[in-house]
Structure 1
Amino acid sequence: MFQTYEDALDWIHSRLRLGIKPGLTRMNMMMEKLNFPESQLKTVHIGGTNGKGSTVTYLRCILESGGLTVGTYTSPYIEQFNERISINGEPISDEEIIKLCNILYPIVAEMDQMDIGGPTEFEIITAMSFYYFAFIKPVDIVIYEVGLGGRFDSTNIIHPILSIITSIGLDHTAILGDTYEEIAREKAGIIKKNTPIIAAIKQEEALAEIIKKAEKENAPIYFLNKHFVIADPISWKQGESFTFQTAAEKLENLQLSMMGKHQIENASLAVMAAILLKKEIFPQISQEHIRMGLKEAKWPGRFEMVSENPLVILDGAHNEEGVQALTTELTKRFKDKNKTIIFAALSDKKTDKMIHQLDGIADKIIFVSFDYPRAATCQELYKESHHQQKAYSTDWKKSINEQLEEIEDDSMLIITGSLYFLSAVKAYWKGKNDKHK
């Protein structure tokens, strides 16, 4: 049995060797052995290519403002593993991680000997979250972020109060399919019978897949730009504002502390979800709670300004759509700044179009490697760039420090790419700042 947090975490991470194994059979077996904790929970399920984490945060903060105790399950983590399982934004404790691992270990060991095979890292963490929220720290509601796809994702054993699909993009194509239609079909797998679905999907072929699945499940649909709309979007120095409107109500001048047009869309999904939850189960939620929650919501690594002088932005743009959102905001907000970009990615991502977009706005671009099993090498990324001022480095910390020394008043540093890379950067940045306090 596990005595220390480090041993428990090592065991969880050791399951990475099993890779990704789509399917729900192993999850259902674990749930049976744990006395079906997932059936005890009120949940919201959030899937999509980009914007899941931000939408989770907006909705959590709105519900918290309404006095609710809100569990969240998210991935990957940015600053600390424990944040993947949180209550009201507070990560699970090390001691609780140890306890959950000791509960799961004998079940996993037994399954390892079966033909079905043992559960993956993600399946184990998901099972831990179900048990935690149901039996150790019961909450009013849990918001579950899909890990990959939807139909066969480990979280898809829940029967939520409502589901949200934030967007459809060409990501994880080797697993989910090469077209928007195929990927939408996988994402639509979270739509459940008679359960409302909210979505901000733009591609016609993707919309058709969502509508087809919703009609099959008799699930009420609420689409952005059809059933609810955004008006009067304004970008401020440290955030955004907008008006949200449905046929029945209008909320003017909603304020966000996160930057980007895409954040307005993510926030609008959370507002629509809050309105439906108010109608169905939580009548105490008010417009004031919506306003407070949106303003207070922050999510690390999403166009995050970690320093104003020198100007440094961290952004987890890890696919083509994410890079497009990043470059749009950089062009709009900082068009007069010289831009140095440090970029890292995973080897299983299609990075050519991402790099092409970054090449288009960068004055200098540096490709770096980082310590992660699926990380692309800096040399591979460098070869895909056609920029005149490009470089590569196997030491990303050294690259950051060098660029910080060179940065001038008319310049900025953007550190972007894989969320796993951003996690390492955040930890390093925090350590640097702690040293100088």
Structure 2
Amino acid sequence: MFTTIDETMQWIHGLIPHGMKPGTKRMEWMLAKLGNPERRIRAIHVGGTNGKGSTSSYLRHIYQEAGYKVGSFISPYITCFNERIMVNGEPISNEDLIRAANIVYPLTKACERETDLGEPAEFEAVTMISLVYFGSINYCDLVIYEVGLGGRLDSTNVIHPLVSVITNVAMDHMKQLGHTISKIAFEKAGIIKSGIGIVTTAEDAEALRVIQERADEKHSRFYQLGKQFTVESLGHDAEGEHFTFSSDFLKLDHAVVRMSGAHQVKNAAAALMAVSYLKTYYALIVDDQEIRDGLRKTAWPGRFERVATKPLIVLDGAHNVQGTEALAATVKRYYPGRTVHVLYAALADKQYDQMIAIIETVASDLTLTTFNYPRAASSDELFVVSHHPKKRNVPDWHQALHAMIDETGDQELLLVCGSLYFISRVRHFLLETKK
């Protein structure tokens, strides 16, 4: 059994990254042994290709503002591992993490020993820890569960939520989910449960067809952006993105979010539809002012995050094609005509050739780098596919970052982007340096 956080983390990180047999069978077996603590959790399930984290954060801040005790389960983390499991934005304590891990650890060994399912993967163990924590140790009024990968076979798909959200569907994780939008949408739509409402901001026609079919099969109320609820952008200023939201349950004029980008308005709309649905059908009461205040207070690390002003440094974990398109659009929207120095790193199993081509459209110059992570692409691999006339290959990102900070003028922008794992390390380094 574990007595220290170091022992606990060594066990967690020593597990295999992904299950050899995809699916929820291992999760279901372990949960049954514990008396199914997940059934004691009132949850919102959030899936999609991009926007899961932002949508989850909007939901958390709105319900916190209304006085609810709100748990959240997210991935990946940006600041520290413990923030994957939080209550009202406070990461799980080391003591509670150790306590929950000591309940889960023998189950993982028993699953491997007593079944033909094999040893649970790292994400399964962490998900189990969260279910034990929220279902047995620290009860909450509401817990927001973010899908790890896909949906249908994801280890979070053992919960029985009050409402499900699918933010969008785009090409990502094709090796695991499939190489067409319809196949990826099928996996995402796997989180839809019988009779449980489903909210989506997906826009691709094929993805919507698949999600609608799944909702019909499950007799689920279906809420689609542009039909059952709408959002109208009213522009942006120093205060943030302004918009109006409308559904049969809620009308919110001139709302504001501080997170930058037109895509954030859609993420906020997904959260607002879920909030109005839960108010209507589950009496989770939130008034309009609490909604407005929650939206304004929402921030999410690593999503077009301004971490310094002199020079201006922005971090963004745009780790797939659609996310990179949104990032490029946001740069043009907020900093038109400004010199933009870009420091970029990506994972080798991503479509980095397409992502680099997109980020080059806003980059005055481009520095390709890498970082110490098993799946990271080398700076050489990134450099070869770049066609930018002012590109540099600097394998040491610390060296590159220092040089670029010195080179960036007061009226210029230093944009650090790519893998969320890379952004996490740069963010930690910059904040520690600032201290």
* Shared fold, TM over 0.5: yes
Secondary structure of 2:308's aligned partner: strand
Structure 1 window deviating more from structure 2 (409-418 vs 77-86): it is 409-418
Q: Corresponding residue for 1:106?
A: 106
* Residues in 1 aligned to 2:286 and 2:344: alpha-carbon distance in whole angstroms: 41
- CA spacing shift, 1:107–1:283, aligned 2, 3 Å: closer
Secondary structure of 2:86's aligned partner: strand
Secondary structure of 1:323's aligned partner: helix
For the pair 1:300 / 2:307, whether they are aligned, the reply is no
Report deviation, 1:32. 1.2
Report deviation, 1:95. 1.1
Structure 1 window deviating more from structure 2 (238-247 vs 13-22): it is 13-22
Report deviation, 1:110. 2.1
Moved runs in structure 1, 4+ residues, more than 6 A? Answer: none
Q: Corresponding residue for 2:194?
A: 193
Residue identity over aligned pairs, in percent, reads: 42
For the pair 1:365 / 2:366, whether they are aligned, the reply is yes
Q: Corresponding residue for 2:255?
A: 254
Q: Deviations over 1:210-247 (max 9, x none)?
A: 01000000000011111111124221225211110124
Q: Corresponding residue for 2:386?
A: 385
Report deviation, 1:362. 0.7
| Residues 113-192 of structure 1 aligned to structure 2 (within 5 Å) | 113=113, 114-192=115-193
* Residues in 1 aligned to 2:182 and 2:19: alpha-carbon distance in whole angstroms: 25
Report deviation, 1:306. 0.8
Whether the aligned pair in 1 keeps the contact of 2:17 and 2:123 (CA below 8 Å) is no
Structure 1 window deviating more from structure 2 (263-272 vs 406-415): it is 406-415
Whether the aligned pair in 2 keeps the contact of 1:368 and 1:392 (CA below 8 Å) is yes
* Residues in 1 aligned to 2:396 and 2:97: alpha-carbon distance in whole angstroms: 32
Q: Corresponding residue for 1:73?
A: 73
Q: Name the TM-score, length of structure 1 as normaliser.
A: 0.97
Whether the aligned pair in 2 keeps the contact of 1:336 and 1:410 (CA below 8 Å) is no
Q: Which amino acid aligns with 1:52?
A: K
Q: Deviations over 1:248-300 (max 9, x none)?
A: 54211111111110110000111111111111223431111111110111110
Structure 1 window deviating more from structure 2 (357-366 vs 67-76): it is 357-366
Q: Deviations over 1:174-200 (max 9, x none)?
A: 111111111101100001111100000
Q: Corresponding residue for 2:289?
A: 288
Whether the aligned pair in 2 keeps the contact of 1:356 and 1:385 (CA below 8 Å) is yes
Q: Corresponding residue for 1:58?
A: 58
* Residues in 1 aligned to 2:117 and 2:169: alpha-carbon distance in whole angstroms: 31
Q: Deviations over 1:27-61 (max 9, x none)?
A: 00110122211111111100000000000000111
- CA spacing shift, 1:383–1:55, aligned 2, 3 Å: same
* Residues in 2 aligned to 1:231 and 1:137: alpha-carbon distance in whole angstroms: 39
Structure 1 window deviating more from structure 2 (71-80 vs 111-120): it is 111-120
* Residues in 2 aligned to 1:248 and 1:93: alpha-carbon distance in whole angstroms: 38
For the aligned residue pairs, the C-alpha RMSD in angstroms reads: 1.2
Secondary structure of 1:347's aligned partner: coil
Q: Corresponding residue for 2:240?
A: 239
* Residues in 2 aligned to 1:273 and 1:163: alpha-carbon distance in whole angstroms: 8
* Residues in 2 aligned to 1:421 and 1:256: alpha-carbon distance in whole angstroms: 26
Q: Deviations over 1:50-97 (max 9, x none)?
A: 000000000111111111101100000000100000001100001111
Q: Which amino acid aligns with 2:173?
A: H
Report deviation, 1:103. 1.4
Q: Corresponding residue for 1:228?
A: 229
Whether the aligned pair in 1 keeps the contact of 2:111 and 2:120 (CA below 8 Å) is yes
Whether the aligned pair in 2 keeps the contact of 1:238 and 1:259 (CA below 8 Å) is no
For the pair 1:84 / 2:84, whether they are aligned, the reply is yes
Q: Deviations over 1:13-32 (max 9, x none)?
A: 11135567520111001101
Q: Which amino acid aligns with 1:96?
A: D
Secondary structure of 1:64's aligned partner: helix
Q: Which amino acid aligns with 2:290?
A: H
Q: Which amino acid aligns with 2:412?
A: S
Report deviation, 1:115. 2.4
Secondary structure of 1:332's aligned partner: helix
- CA spacing shift, 1:21–1:377, aligned 2, 3 Å: farther
Q: Corresponding residue for 2:4?
A: 4
The unaligned stretches of length 5 or more in structure 2 are: none
* Residues in 2 aligned to 1:147 and 1:18: alpha-carbon distance in whole angstroms: 11
Secondary structure of 1:11's aligned partner: helix
Q: Corresponding residue for 1:337?
A: 338
- CA spacing shift, 1:249–1:138, aligned 2, 3 Å: closer
Q: Which amino acid aligns with 2:98?
A: I
* Residues in 1 aligned to 2:179 and 2:25: alpha-carbon distance in whole angstroms: 26
